Amino acid sequence: MQLCKVSELVKAVRSLLDEGDGKELNKLDDTETLRLDEIIQSRLIESTRHTLATAPLSMIGAGMEFGETVHWYKQEGHGAGYVLLPKDFLRLVTFQMSDWQKEVHDPIAVTSQEYLLQHSRFSGVRGCPERPVTALINLPQGMALEFFSCTGGDGTYVRQAQYIPYPRTIKKRIYVPPLCQRFVIIRAAYLTALTMRRDALANRLLQNNKDILNDQLTNEHA
């Protein structure tokens, strides 16, 4: 996971704002410049969180591992179970039990009709090694990833499990995947422009972000 210097991201955001605001930022005095940098820094975490939560997984890359301990509802290796999620969990990258034929990337909602089917008495409509299903649930111990289902018996384990953590600064650095950096910078510039009441600039930046993302997705599927 690549850590970027916060100072470099701030510089990039300022440059983008300056370019879009007709060089007006060059007229700021030292106090105003310091305040602007503080605003940008305060928006970087939210911008990174938003980008990591919404960007295609192909842009994010590998995450951090989890799932060392498996909890079974009934018998080990048979049926459903769950693994507790790290406290800084933001988004699932991939999850696969050892007897599953494929991995899962998108957990279903507990309010969905599909989740209700996972508790049906008819096994044919529930998740299975050929059609695995996961869901994010809240337990007294914290958030967990519930999985449906396994048939491998004793010794069934988590083959792979990766997640994206909630962003935070570490020694004035922050984790931003290389392919997401441009979107984080534009998003931070957008939020900063809103704070500065530059609504027209904010709208242009927001549209720019959407256009670049659409271009990225188009190129991936070309």
Name 221's Cβ contacts closer than 8 Å, sequence gap at least 6.
none
Q: Where would I find the H helices in the chain?
A: 6-20, 30-54, 57-60, 113-117, 181-195, 199-220
Residue 174 makes CB contacts below 8 A (sequence gap 6+) with 3, 4, 6, 9, 44, 45, 48, 167, 168
pLDDT, residue 29, reads 54
Mapped onto helix, strand or coil, the DSSP state of residue 136 is strand
With a pLDDT cut of 70, the percent of the chain lying above it is: 88
Domain boundaries, the chain: 3-59+177-220, 64-165
Task: Please tell me the predicted confidence (pLDDT) of residue 24.
Answer: 53
Weakly modelled stretches of the chain, pLDDT under 50: 26
SS (H, E, C) 9-39: HHHHHHHHHHHHCCCHHHHCCHHHHHHHHHH
| Residues 116-126 pLDDT 10s | 999 998 988 99
% of the chain with per-residue pLDDT over 90: 68
* Total Cβ atoms within 10 A of residue 33: 13
Classify residue 73 as exposed, middle or buried by CB count within 10 Å of its CB (0-12, 13-18, 19+): exposed
